[in-house]
Homo-oligomer: A and B are copies of this chain.
Amino acid sequence: MTTPTSTPAVPRTGIWLIGARGSVATTVVAGCAAVAGGLQPAIGMVTLTPHFAGSGLPDLGSLVFGGHDVVSCPLPKRAEQLAARGVLPYDLPQVVRNELAAADAEIRAGGPVMDDLSQDDELISRFADDIASFRTRNNLVRCVVVNVASTEPAPREGDERLPASSLYAAAALRAGAAYANFTPSTGLHHPALTGPYDVPVAGRDGKTGQTLLRSVLGPMFAQRALTVRSWSGTNLLGGGDGAALADPDAAAAKNAGKARVLADTLGATPEGVVHIDDVPSMGDWKTAWDHIAFEGFLGARMVLQTTWQGCDSALAAPLVLDLVRLLARAHEVGLTGPLPELGFYFKDPDPRAPASLSEQYVALLGLAEQLRAEHT
């Protein structure tokens, strides 16, 4: 991640993380350094498979990190906490300490804090300035802003202020940065931010676990003409997201995404609800149980159950790195607006995206091909 002085510098791309000191962001920064340095294999990064060779995506080593957050615990310390809980390898925080510290130095105080009386526009400008100065200071060719903060409550009816996630999204647009919303928060899904956009954007709500499964199991039932009677799910998770999503308002957007994949792949919405439980002792680990009651020939009753036990940060981080590489390159070749080809990554993708994972994968490979064709 250093720039040689005697040869032309590799162009560097900025990654501006909203929630830059959270578990996902810490894993993104530490993991990027580890994989770029050859210390860890690139497990979970789709854009490092051979299908993306020659598509002109920026190297991991050329990424520069910064972001907004409201907490102050520095990244090296956060990484140690994650290692003690088994999320990061034992010795990684020490090995990539310099990279963590460098990213930490580029984190700015986020907001808005509860008692901030600034107008929305002032806040957007302040955040956009932070992004712009990050770009200038680091001599970056372009920036990608990614929201990886905790889920925010759904906006109350009649509330005229933009939710925080939308302020940051608007700041990205104002700063001319590509934007991805990896959370179920509002972001660009706000009447005030309907576009058109001058940059490529993607979202929302990263598809990391239960919904990933649903996006392959739903099509299986549909392709086999089996009738799904009910699809029930329970998620147990700790960490910040457990507490945030235990709030029914915050969970509403997330659950909408989970339901959509079923409706879209099955052609009908089955019985059953999804629960999201805050279980603090689970920490960064998430368990999702799904119970699917379906009918076969002559009405025979059958059941499929799945239990997914995953580490949310480890599932999210490589997808975030994929997204920033793809958006940076899309920006470079002049693509703008929502990219339906990135539906592979999201629970609630652009409406033009197909709903089944396999079709989304085909679309993603098509984007890789398109970006390759643009290569100069």
Chain A residues at the B interface, C-beta cutoff of 8 Å:
27, 30-31, 34, 40-46, 48-49, 83-84, 86-90, 92, 212-213, 216-217, 219-220, 223-227, 229-230, 232, 234, 236, 271-273, 275, 277, 279-282, 287, 289, 291, 293, 295-300, 302-311, 314-315, 317-318, 344, 356-359, 361
B31, A298: Cβ atoms closer than 8 Å: yes
Instruction: Tell me, rounded to whole Å, the shortest Cβ–Cβ distance linking A176 to chain B.
Output: 30
A220, B225: Cβ atoms closer than 8 Å: no
CA of A219 to CA of B13 in the docked complex: distance in angstroms?
32
Which residues from chain B contact A31 at a C-beta distance below 8 Å? 297-298
B307, A293: Cβ atoms closer than 8 Å: no
A225, B43: Cβ atoms closer than 8 Å: yes
A298, B92: Cβ atoms closer than 8 Å: yes
In the complex, residue of chain B having the shortest beta-carbon distance to the beta carbon of A34 = B298
B43, A291: Cβ atoms closer than 8 Å: no
The 9 A-B pairs with the shortest beta carbon distances in the complex, nearest first, are: A358-B358, A300-B314, A229-B281, A296-B314, A44-B297, A302-B310, A234-B234, A305-B307, A297-B318
CA of A84 to CA of B301 in the docked complex: distance in angstroms?
13
Instruction: Tell me, rounded to whole Å, the shortest Cβ–Cβ distance linking A345 to chain B.
Output: 10
Which residues from chain B contact A356 at a C-beta distance below 8 Å? 358
Most buried by B among A219, A277, A315: A277
Which residues from chain B contact A287 at a C-beta distance below 8 Å? 291, 303
> Would you give 18 A-B contacts (Cβ < 8 Å), ordered by A?
A43-B225, A43-B297, A48-B225, A90-B90, A216-B216, A220-B357, A223-B361, A229-B281, A234-B234, A234-B275, A272-B277, A273-B277, A296-B318, A297-B315, A297-B317, A300-B311, A304-B308, A356-B358
Which residues from chain B contact A280 at a C-beta distance below 8 Å? 271
CA of A357 to CA of B49 in the docked complex: distance in angstroms?
21
Which residues from chain B contact A295 at a C-beta distance below 8 Å? 43
Which residue of B45, B224, B227, B317 is within 8 Å of A212 (Cβ)? B224
Instruction: Tell me, rounded to whole Å, the shortest Cβ–Cβ distance linking A208 to chain B.
Output: 9
A271, B275: Cβ atoms closer than 8 Å: no
B299, A225: Cβ atoms closer than 8 Å: no
Which residues from chain B contact A306 at a C-beta distance below 8 Å? 304-307
A279, B293: Cβ atoms closer than 8 Å: yes
B291, A236: Cβ atoms closer than 8 Å: yes
In the complex, residue of chain B having the shortest beta-carbon distance to the beta carbon of A345 = B224
A86 with B86, Cβ < 8 A, contacts A236-B232, A282-B230, A302-B311 known: yes
CA of A362 to CA of B161 in the docked complex: distance in angstroms?
47
In the complex, residue of chain B having the shortest beta-carbon distance to the beta carbon of A284 = B300
Which residues from chain B contact A297 at a C-beta distance below 8 Å? 27, 31, 43-45, 314-315, 317-318
